[in-house]
A and B are shown apart, each in its own frame.
Chain A
Amino acid sequence: MNLRAKFCLFLDILGVICGVALIATLFSNWIFYRWNFDFPDRFIQAAFIIFMVRVLLTLDYKKLRRSTDFHYDTYVIVTVLVIGLCMWHSLYESMHHATRGVAILRGSFANVSDEVISEEVTNLNQYYPNYQFLHAALREIPEDANIALIGDMRGHLITYDVYPRKLYMLEEAQIVLNKNAMECYAWKHVDDPIYPLTDPFATYTPYEPKSDEEVQRLFKEMIEEKDIDWVICYSTIYPEKSFFKKIK
């Protein structure tokens, strides 16, 4: 047995282990109806690399094939099985939102039920806290409103949803809050071993925070100048303090 054949045999054994683990994981997930994408994903990845490297190493002209006892058909079947499982898995993930999918295929977005939208907002809330709050706010704020935003860094995510309502924020506040949020982000994770504050070079872009009175004066000016009629206070750091209010 030459070196290449030994390496291929090693890959075969490794591939079979990964393949069995993958199938077992997928089926156990299926049976128990508990999907954890990360876990089978690791096996899918490992099995993939192994099978494909094995195939690429040996799939060639007849002489090369003979030299490594390459079981072509077996590998086609196994590879198709692995990829089929992978695709099935991804399709399953899509079908989770099948109601929406069917509505789109019918060409009518109006058919998307409130339950699906509500579920999406809930999902989104996991990524961006306060999204449900924003969703509730936008139901009440009319489309021609001029809104003043008091919030932190993630606040500008909402500009997209808020449009065509006009969203304003003090320029100073935008910069200060952006930087504050950046520090708060680090501060929030100070006890988290994943985000230790170990950066010895943390010289943020310098800014001069204004006094409360000064910010208040600028804010009043902005309300006058831009004819602001609603205020949204949107904080990801302190979600419980978020509110929206009509001021005119």
Chain B
Amino acid sequence: MNPAFFPFMTLVYFAVLIATGWAVLRLIPSDEKERYPAELWLPVSFALGIAFQGIVYMLSLLILRQVWFPIYIMSSLVLFGTLFYKHPRLSFARFQGFDLALGPEDKQYRILYWLAWTMVITMVAVLIFQALTFTMNIYYDGKSIWIYKSKLLFHEHTIFSEAFLDPLRVHYHRDYPLLMPIANYNLYNFLGAESDDFVRILNIVFLMFFLLFLFHWSARFTNRSLATLIVFFFAAYPYTWYWARGGIGITNGDVDFPLACFAAFSAGLYYFYWREKKLYYLILASILCGLCLVTKKEGMVAFAVIYAANGLKWLATPKNQKVVVLKHGLMALGITILVAAPGSILSAMMPNLYDEKFFDMIRPENLDFVHKRYPIIISEFIGDVSRVDKWSFFWYFYLVIVILSIRNWFARGSFFLDAIIILWMTAYTIVYIFTPLNLIFHITTSLGRLLGHFFPIVFLRIVLFYGEWRTMALSKKL
């Protein structure tokens, strides 16, 4: 294909991705009176679109032992066929457009509101421009692990080839999850060629949809003008640029940022479930949690901590609701496992030749030494969260928030998010305690990225606290 059509075909790719995701979303029944704004269903549709293409190709690999672009197109057409099936609980009217009108109380902030949106849109446009004009890919993981798999899929149409299976061929981490390499591979299919430049846009689109989700989240707990300001704050924060563009994100096919987004969407939707007890949110959250498992190996941690937090939340459920909620929980777990199964089976079929054996390190004789690692881990952690050029103050805000919320902590709705954050942090600390690598080497090359996996949830928690605090302050003042 003539490269002149690449920008157009990239747009077509994202349009198909969102359309398929939306078609999947429509099949999830909910109360016919429910209404979902675009800032909620668009990010979720995007994530479900990624899930749909991932599952189609993974099943194709499992059954046919190869991937084939027409299979995706045909599956999408079949999926679109379901749009003709009508049912009151699958109503189209549930999905609304953007409601950008300000309420009477917000009118005075009209200039700020539109200015903030303009800035956010400009920022995304600049990031896309930067992605396209970036120099060659220099990020090690993105290049040697993720995008390499996309390239192999594009040229060889399978993972059951010498490049994946022969121990003599150089290919590290051949058993890593395939969801994002498949997303890149599918973009290549739309372009008809591999393009490092256009693949980079994927992470920026993830950021864009995270910002939309953040807007929805913030608007639920504050109001539209403040929500816009919060999104603007997050989007324009210098480290977000670095995060989404270079340091953690951009590069070709890196998956840390998608994992952080899936985990944040999942945690947010589970929070809505616990708040409103609507199955719709539970099903969506479970699917997104399953995506974490097939995005990156750390997704196992995401899955474990999210379900552990759900378990803790279940313990705090009133006795008369325990059985119903337990049934919901088991259903959610089933959905998550079902979504993650094809990807996990494929990963298990690939040889793991070079990975360090973390679990082998957890031996009784090693337990005598681990305490010597604590000072290094603590000092590196404090060093990282204190850096002004990173998320810095947010971590301290969060610490203050936890201290302020400690009263009736378990009874609070926000406990769910706190449990995820704290358990996640604990899990990564355990990884560092038992890493078979040189600790300094391991921690300095990975801590920032690992903290980034759950930072979006920390930010959601800060917004939630701000919303609660504001409501309380207003009820006292007005």
- Give A contacts to B, CB under 8 Å: 38, 41-42, 44-46, 48-49, 52, 55-56, 59-64, 67, 72, 76, 80, 83, 86-87, 90-91, 93-94, 97-98, 100-101, 104, 106-110, 120-121, 123-124, 127-128, 149, 154-157, 159-160, 163-164, 166-171, 174-175, 178, 182-183, 185-186, 195-205, 222, 225-226
Give chain B interface residues in 146-164, CB to chain A under 8 Å.
Answer: 147-148, 151-152, 155, 162-163
Contact of A59 among B115, B148, B226, B392 (CB under 8 A): B226
Question: What chain A residues lie within 8 Å of B439 (beta carbons)?
Answer: 199, 201-202
Question: What chain B residues lie within 8 Å of A205 (beta carbons)?
Answer: 356-357, 360, 436
A198, B168: Cβ atoms under 8 Å?
no
In the complex, residue of chain A having the shortest beta-carbon distance to the beta carbon of B106: A61
Apart from the given pairs A56-B229, A107-B5, 6 other A-B contacts in the complex at a CB distance below 8 Å: A45-B388, A64-B474, A107-B3, A120-B136, A157-B144, A197-B440
Give chain B interface residues in 231-272, CB to chain A under 8 Å.
Answer: 233, 236-239, 241
State A80–B132 Cα separation when bound (angstroms).
Answer: 26
B236, A86: Cβ atoms under 8 Å?
yes
B441, A157: Cβ atoms under 8 Å?
no
What class of interface size applies to chain B in its complex with A?
Answer: 35 or more
The distance from the CB of B238 to the nearest CB of chain A, in whole angstroms, is 5
The distance from the CB of B263 to the nearest CB of chain A, in whole angstroms, is 25
Which of B115, B162, B236, B478 is packed against the most chain A CB atoms within 10 Å? B236
Q: Is B477 in the interface zone, CB < 8 Å from A?
A: yes
B241, A90: Cβ atoms under 8 Å?
yes
Instruction: How many A-B residue pairs have C-beta atoms within 8 angstroms? Tell me.
Output: 195
Contact of B353 among A59, A90, A120, A171 (CB under 8 A): A171
State A55–B241 Cα separation when bound (angstroms).
Answer: 21
A198, B440: Cβ atoms under 8 Å?
yes
Question: What chain A residues lie within 8 Å of B237 (beta carbons)?
Answer: 45, 48
Question: What chain B residues lie within 8 Å of A222 (beta carbons)?
Answer: 168
Question: What chain A residues lie within 8 Å of B369 (beta carbons)?
Answer: 200-201
A167, B170: Cβ atoms under 8 Å?
yes
A160, B373: Cβ atoms under 8 Å?
no
Question: What chain A residues lie within 8 Å of B172 (beta carbons)?
Answer: 156
29 residue pairs from A and B, CB less than 8 Å apart: A38-B389, A41-B389, A45-B239, A52-B233, A56-B233, A60-B470, A60-B473, A64-B473, A67-B477, A83-B119, A86-B236, A86-B238, A87-B119, A90-B126, A90-B241, A107-B2, A107-B5, A120-B136, A123-B138, A124-B135, A124-B136, A128-B138, A160-B147, A166-B162, A166-B169, A175-B353, A199-B376, A200-B369, A204-B436
Dominant secondary structure at the A interface: helix
Contact of B477 among A64, A80, A178 (CB under 8 A): A64
The distance from the CB of B239 to the nearest CB of chain A, in whole angstroms, is 7
Q: Is B12 in the interface zone, CB < 8 Å from A?
A: no
Question: What chain A residues lie within 8 Å of B144 (beta carbons)?
Answer: 156-157, 159-160
State A234–B432 Cα separation when bound (angstroms).
Answer: 30
In the complex, residue of chain A having the shortest beta-carbon distance to the beta carbon of B105: A61
The distance from the CB of B24 to the nearest CB of chain A, in whole angstroms, is 32
State A163–B138 Cα separation when bound (angstroms).
Answer: 17
Contact of B169 among A55, A168, A182, A202 (CB under 8 A): A168
Give chain B interface residues in 362-415, CB to chain A under 8 Å.
Answer: 366, 369-370, 372-373, 376, 388-389, 392-393
State A98–B132 Cα separation when bound (angstroms).
Answer: 10
A174, B151: Cβ atoms under 8 Å?
no
B168, A185: Cβ atoms under 8 Å?
no
A120, B135: Cβ atoms under 8 Å?
yes
Question: What chain A residues lie within 8 Å of B473 (beta carbons)?
Answer: 60, 64
Question: What chain B residues lie within 8 Å of A106 (beta carbons)?
Answer: 4
Question: What chain B residues lie within 8 Å of A91 (beta carbons)?
Answer: 126, 129
Question: What chain B residues lie within 8 Å of A44 (beta carbons)?
Answer: 238
State A202–B436 Cα separation when bound (angstroms).
Answer: 7
Q: Is B133 in the interface zone, CB < 8 Å from A?
A: yes
Given A76-B112, A93-B130, A97-B134; A56-B440 close (CB under 8 Å): no
A49, B130: Cβ atoms under 8 Å?
no
In the complex, residue of chain B having the shortest beta-carbon distance to the beta carbon of A53: B393
Q: Is B314 in the interface zone, CB < 8 Å from A?
A: no
A156, B233: Cβ atoms under 8 Å?
no
Q: Is B167 in the interface zone, CB < 8 Å from A?
A: yes
In the complex, residue of chain B having the shortest beta-carbon distance to the beta carbon of A101: B133
Q: Is B117 in the interface zone, CB < 8 Å from A?
A: no
Question: What chain B residues lie within 8 Å of A110 (beta carbons)?
Answer: 3
State A196–B439 Cα separation when bound (angstroms).
Answer: 11
B438, A186: Cβ atoms under 8 Å?
yes
The distance from the CB of B104 to the nearest CB of chain A, in whole angstroms, is 11
Contact of B136 among A55, A121, A185 (CB under 8 A): A121
The distance from the CB of A145 to the nearest CB of chain B, in whole angstroms, is 14
In the complex, residue of chain A having the shortest beta-carbon distance to the beta carbon of B437: A182
State A166–B135 Cα separation when bound (angstroms).
Answer: 25
Contact of B3 among A59, A108, A156 (CB under 8 A): A108
Question: What chain B residues lie within 8 Å of A127 (beta carbons)?
Answer: 138
Q: Is B298 in the interface zone, CB < 8 Å from A?
A: no
B5, A169: Cβ atoms under 8 Å?
no
Question: What chain B residues lie within 8 Å of A94 (beta carbons)?
Answer: 126, 129-130, 133
Give chain B interface residues in 83-130, CB to chain A under 8 Å.
Answer: 105, 108-109, 111-112, 115, 119, 122-123, 126, 129-130
